Structure 1
Amino acid sequence: MTLERTAQTVEGVRRRRLQLSLMVNFFLLMALYSGVLGVLLPNQIAALDPANKANNLALLFAVTSVFSTLTTPIAGALSDRTRSRWGRRSPWIAIASVIGSICLFGVSWMTSFWALMVFWVMATVAYNSMQPAMTTVIADRFPPEARGVVSGIVGAGMTAGLTAGTVVAGYLAGAQVMAYALFALAIAASCLVFVVINRESSSADLPARPFSWIAFAKGFWISPKEHPDFAWAFAGRFTVYMGYQAIAAYMLYILRDYIGLSDGDSNIAIANMAILTLICLVASSLVSGWLSDRYQRRKPFVFGASLIMGCAMLAPLLLPNMTGMWIYAGIIGLGYGMFMSIDMALMTQVLPQSTEGDEGKDLGVLTTAVNIPQIISPVMAAVLLYLFDGDYSVIFIAAVIFVFGSALCVMPIRSVR
């Protein structure tokens, strides 16, 4: 795989600085996603139309995720073709983050559901134009044998961000404009600093790649027959996020309508649960990444993570109260932290061999395994709630099936141990 076309592999102080910068960026991006999608938007949507909150939330996730799914691989492919003195990835990271943050701040002022959706869609498109470029930095600048460590560090940042964002949003839910502004400013500032202190080699002198819309579209099809490991990795990531997103998207409403908490108590509860998850996530991510590199194994960790996550989802079924939710919060942290820390390293090692510098596009395709569940799982959950008369336990049952299924998808992968 051609990984050193525009940026040489980093070593020493530059590597440590890049690892830390990636961790901070992904921490803030995941904090933004979890805080906005898990707390701020559900609260805002419920306030605008309480009777239709579940359906409207599902519609919002579905529409915005369609745009995310289309944007991510296209932006990844375009970043592969970008020619500038700032390199291929940096312009996308800097410009898209600023545009996304402007749109995100606009969401906080919207007083109708459809206006809110328009601004959130624009923010989502911008952030999903930035994310594949940032993810591809790992493939660009780190050798395969070192990606477990960086994946663990970045995974710890991502998982901690998912928790921290929920905590911050939960406590600031009553100060809507301030909460949105905080997330928007943080990610924009972090991305701008990132491109300055981790200067990418110029791509201006690289030969321009021929461009055809037909060839461009065909390039997004990666044959499962020719690249079975890529297909199995895609399927494993897809199914685990189908289960995880179905619960995460409705967590605030689960606490209110399944556990029986008030609106105010549910905002505090989701924040406090996130603190427990944070502790488990960080410990699991760092230890898993280190062990994965030490033994040069990826599959056992991803397999085990899926089983642990499935067990966590059983707790609220057996104990439909806050005790069950506390157990869920702790165990899901262990499983999801392990999964995220190793999954990124696994993804970079199943990419099709490329002589064209298509790593950004291919990683963008893999990212759709996260985005597509964001379309399907909330809609699936809304349909299940309708069919089972608002019984949230059916969402947990469906999630367990998907997450256990993910473990089976890892086993056929041959090129990674």
Structure 2
Amino acid sequence: MDVPLPSAPAEDTSQHVAGRRRWVLLWSLLINFFVLLALYNGVISVLLPNQVAALDPAAKAANLAIVMSITSIFSTLTTPIAGALSDRTRSRWGRRSPWIALASLIGSMCLFGVSLVTSLWSITVLWVMAAIAYNAMQGPLSTVVADRFAPANRGTASGFIGAGMTAGGTVGIIVAGQLASQLVLGYLVFALAVAACCVAFVFLNREVPSEHLKPAPFSLPGFLRSFWINPRQYPDFGWAFLGRFTIYMGYQGVVTYQLYILRDYIQLSVDQANVVIGNISAITFVMLLFSGLVSGFLSDRVGRRKPFVFFSSVIMAAACVVPLVIPTVEGMYLYAGIVGLGYGAFTAVDMALMTQVLPRDTGSTGKDLGILTTAINIPQAISPVMSAWLLGLSGGDYSVLFIAAILFVFASSFFVLPIRSVR
């Protein structure tokens, strides 16, 4: 027997922006997600792998898997908890702004600290602290889309965020590649950029004060139970979570090891790999920016989300075939262009789709979106371990990472189809 779908909660329009405020918020979100993803990709794909490899070149893949897995476990726990706490925050700066500003400052101090240490465990501890703070900031920042945009405008907002994320991730790798030989400066540039942009965001986009809001009575058992959302009662939420989880399981396994793929699979030197990874990012940048903005606009225009998510996943899976057939620098460049086209479209529409499958009212938006964000963080914890395991089984053959990515990403395209509340 089918489980009846819950009725949609009434939409709170009190914070929805329009006119000039809407455009300021759109560009502020684009810039903030640009610098945040520049930091993530620059650190995870270039700075951290170079720093870890310098400690023990023979064990670099296993050591990087340790750092990333421990970090992602804490990140996974942080995002929904910070989202739930931001829902309950009461201040004259609103619910999300205090988290956006303060957490970014703490994260940036910890990130700079990573550049000053020289052991695997000290690097891990400081990077974990930075990741916890940045995830405590990112959850509330993402919730701004649901808080301040009407559903009909969320595709455009998601497109701006997607363009910022994908372009930032690309530029971050380029910048990090240029600064790979100056780790202290590299970490400092990213840390200062994120802190400055987050503080500016709070002042430019003043949030409605939340002091007058009465929070629901707090109960620790009830608070903990709220993190379980029954997929039988809310199937659309469950399908959206599963689709996002599987696409990132495939995508993250390749991205995390991209520098080592260039060194050991494409057979480039350390210096060549650092240059080529920047070129790959430049190619991806053009496709991501075009695909993200166009897809978000078209999604709002036609009022549909699922076809964009489905076909973008198929395109990403097809991109992973290229390095298997053409294991050269040129093949990696072609892969970068195709995956950029698919991933740009996916990120542009994915956020809008997620805001429309939330099972709770706006009082728990931060927590619910935080739970959906764990569908990204959990793969960040699992995929490096899975990739290291696959590399061990295959004797260091990096082609297995592309095969695994194809299987996961292609499967994800079908999980969006059963969603009934979103077209």
Q: Distance in 2 between matches of 1:120 and 1:2?
A: 40
Aligned to 1:408: 414
Aligned to 1:181: 188
Match of 2:314 among 301, 307, 312: 307
Aligned to 1:389: 395
Aligned to 2:172: 165
How far apart are residue 209 of structure 1 and its match?
Answer: 2.2
Asked if 2 retains the 8 angstrom alpha-carbon contact of 1:280 and 1:333, the reply is yes
AA in 2 matched with 1:391: D
Q: Distance in 2 between matches of 1:51 and 1:216?
A: 45
How far apart are residue 208 of structure 1 and its match?
Answer: 2.7
1:369 to 2:372 alignment:
no
Asked if 1 retains the 8 angstrom alpha-carbon contact of 2:34 and 2:169, the reply is yes
1:152 to 2:159 alignment:
yes
1:24 to 2:17 alignment:
no
AA in 2 matched with 1:373: P
Q: TM-score, normalised by structure 1?
A: 0.98
How far apart are residue 358 of structure 1 and its match?
Answer: 0.3
Q: Distance in 1 between matches of 2:69 and 2:134?
A: 17
1:252 to 2:259 alignment:
yes
How far apart are residue 8 of structure 1 and its match?
Answer: 1.6
How far apart are residue 49 of structure 1 and its match?
Answer: 1.0
Match of 2:98 among 66, 87, 91: 91
How far apart are residue 353 of structure 1 and its match?
Answer: 3.6
1:115-154 alignment to 2 at 5 Å?
115-154=122-161
Q: Distance in 1 between matches of 2:263 and 2:10?
A: 50
Q: Distance in 2 between matches of 1:334 and 1:360?
A: 29
Report Cα offsets for 1:230-250 as digits up to 9, x if no partner: 000000000000000000000
Asked if 1 retains the 8 angstrom alpha-carbon contact of 2:360 and 2:368, the reply is no
1:12-411 alignment to 2 at 5 Å?
12-354=19-361, 357-411=363-417
> What is the SS of the residue equivalent to 1:85?
coil
Report Cα offsets for 1:287-328 as digits up to 9, x if no partner: 101110110010000000000000000000011111210110
The unaligned stretches of length 5 or more in structure 1 are none
Report Cα offsets for 1:156-210 as digits up to 9, x if no partner: 0111011010010011101111110000000000000000110001101111321
AA in 2 matched with 1:361: K
Asked if 2 retains the 8 angstrom alpha-carbon contact of 1:259 and 1:320, the reply is yes
> What is the SS of the residue equivalent to 1:358?
helix
Q: Distance in 2 between matches of 1:377 and 1:131?
A: 21
The unaligned stretches of length 5 or more in structure 2 are 1-8
How far apart are residue 3 of structure 1 and its match?
Answer: 5.2
Q: Distance in 2 between matches of 1:228 and 1:208?
A: 28
Using the TM superposition, name which of 205-214 and 227-236 deviates more.
Answer: 205-214
> What is the SS of the residue equivalent to 1:357?
helix
AA in 1 matched with 2:381: I
What's the RMSD between the two structures over aligned residues?
0.9
Aligned to 2:4: none
Report Cα offsets for 1:329-379 as digits up to 9, x if no partner: 10010000000000000000000042x600000000000000000011010
AA in 2 matched with 1:402: F
Identical aligned pairs, as a percentage?
Answer: 62
How far apart are residue 2 of structure 1 and its match?
Answer: 5.4
AA in 2 matched with 1:399: A
AA in 1 matched with 2:272: D
How far apart are residue 213 of structure 1 and its match?
Answer: 1.5
Asked if 1 retains the 8 angstrom alpha-carbon contact of 2:306 and 2:416, the reply is yes
Asked if 2 retains the 8 angstrom alpha-carbon contact of 1:2 and 1:357, the reply is no
Q: Distance in 1 between matches of 2:94 and 2:197?
A: 18
Q: Distance in 2 between matches of 1:237 and 1:82?
A: 28
Asked if 2 retains the 8 angstrom alpha-carbon contact of 1:132 and 1:363, the reply is yes
Q: TM-score, normalised by structure 2?
A: 0.97
Runs in 1 of length 4+ with deviation above 6 angstroms? Answer: none
Q: Distance in 2 between matches of 1:291 and 1:150?
A: 12
AA in 2 matched with 1:269: V
Q: 1:3 to 1:119 in 2, by over 3 A?
A: farther
How many residues are treated as equivalent by the alignment? 415
